[in-house]
């Protein structure tokens, strides 16, 4: 239990952004995914992973968003230039060309863009994935579960560089969030907590709730 427990300091670090400021946000509306650039078999595995990950929050995916139609968009490509020719995507992401230029220089294989509602909660997420290098070697389940998990809240850019939040069950190769990280997301969606906050003390509330949930799991 002690080894798995997430301290408030660890949680605060997970939600610390590039400028070092603590910023927490979760989805404030039902998640409606749409996936582009994969075949039907891959699509089935990705959707399954999204359903499983979203289920941890206590919610479920929906068929449509009344304002946006879809609000959790995945775009797969083999070359970043392919993203630039997606119809109307630049209307959704005005600085798309600058983002792609940066990704080409840094050789990054995944990138996610969030937008937020008036309450500060996540309103939309666009996920860009280049199937190359590490992403090409990963199983579809591991990739989809890991990327979905990191889109369920506004984690900082360094949150999971040293440790994946996902575990693989050897007996059946099933990919699931590790118990402590599953507990963290479930705690983050506690209805009494705000959709968004920049108060570092929020990490104390998350830690207390997550570790109670973790104890119940174990």
Question: Can you say whether residue 32 is alpha, beta or left, with left for phi > 0 and alpha for psi between -120 and 50 degrees?
Answer: beta
Q: Are residues 211 and 114 in the same domain?
A: no
Residues 133 and 163 in one domain: no
Residues contacting residue 37 through CB under 8 Å, at least 6 positions apart: 74, 75, 76, 77, 82
136 by Cβ neighbours in 10 Å (0-12 / 13-18 / 19+) ranks as exposed
According to the per-residue pLDDT averaged within each range, which of 18-32, 125-139, 163-177 is highest? 18-32
Residues in a beta bridge with 15? none
pLDDT of residue 189 exceeding 60 = yes
In this structure, are 64 and 137 located in the same domain? Answer: yes
Q: For residue range 23-75, list pLDDT tens digits in order.
A: 999 999 999 999 999 999 999 999 999 999 999 999 999 999 988 899 999 99
Residue 25 to residue 199: CA distance in whole angstroms: 11
38 shares its domain with 141:
yes
Reported as a single tens digit per residue, the pLDDT across 79-117 is 999 999 999 899 888 899 999 999 999 878 899 999 999
Same domain, 36 and 136: yes
**Same domain, residue pair 4 and 40:** no
> Does 91 lie in the same domain as 65?
yes
- Tell me what pLDDT residue 1 has: 47
Same domain, 141 and 161: no
Confidence (pLDDT) at 21 = 95
Domain boundary, last residue among 134, 152, 170 = 152
Domain that holds residue 165: 1-26+154-218
**Angstrom distance (rounded) from CA 52 to CA 148:** 9
Same domain, 158 and 102: no
Burial class from Cβ neighbours inside 10 Å (0-12, 13-18, 19+) for residue 95 reads: exposed
Whether 5 and 112 map to the same domain: the answer is no
Q: Are 125 and 61 in contact (CB under 8 A)?
A: no
**Is 212 in the same domain as 172?**
yes
Number of domains in the chain: 2
Domain boundary among 99, 128, 152: 152
Asked which of 152, 187, 204 is the last residue of a domain, the reply is: 152
Residues 66, 114, single domain; the answer is yes
Confidence of residue 2 (pLDDT cuts 50, 70, 90): low
pTM over 0.95: no
Residues 129-157: tens digit of each pLDDT: 999 877 777 888 999 999 999 999 999 99
Question: What is the CA angle 52-54-57, rounded to 5?
Answer: 120
Contact in structure between 37 and 76 (CB atoms under 8 Å): yes
* Mean pLDDT across the chain: 92
């Amino acid at each position: 239990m002690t080894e798995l427990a997430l301290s408030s300091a660890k949680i605060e670090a997970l939600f610390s952004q590039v400028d070092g400021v603590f910023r927490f946000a979760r989805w404030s509306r039902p998640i409606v995914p749409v996936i582009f650039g994969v075949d039907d078999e891959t699509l089935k595995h990705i959707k399954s992973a999204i359903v499983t990950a979203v289920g941890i929050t206590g919610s479920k995916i929906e068929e449509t968003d009344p304002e946006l139609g879809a609000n959790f968009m995945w775009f797969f490509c083999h070359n970043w230039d392919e993203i630039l020719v997606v119809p109307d995507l630049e209307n959704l992401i005005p600085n798309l060309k600058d983002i792609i230029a940066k990704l080409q220089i840094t050789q990054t294989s995944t990138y996610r863009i969030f937008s937020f509602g008036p309450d500060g909660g996540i309103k939309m997420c666009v996920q860009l994935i280049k199937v190359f290098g590490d992403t090409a070697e990963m199983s579809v389940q591991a990739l989809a579960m890991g990327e979905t998990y990191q889109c369920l809240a506004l984690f900082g850019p360094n949150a999971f560089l040293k440790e994946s939040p996902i575990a693989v069950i050897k007996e059946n190769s099933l990919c699931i969030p590790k118990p402590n990280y599953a507990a963290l997301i479930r705690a983050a969606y506690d209805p009494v907590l705000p959709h968004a906050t920049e108060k570092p003390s929020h990490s104390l509330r998350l830690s207390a709730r997550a570790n109670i949930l973790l104890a119940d799991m174990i």
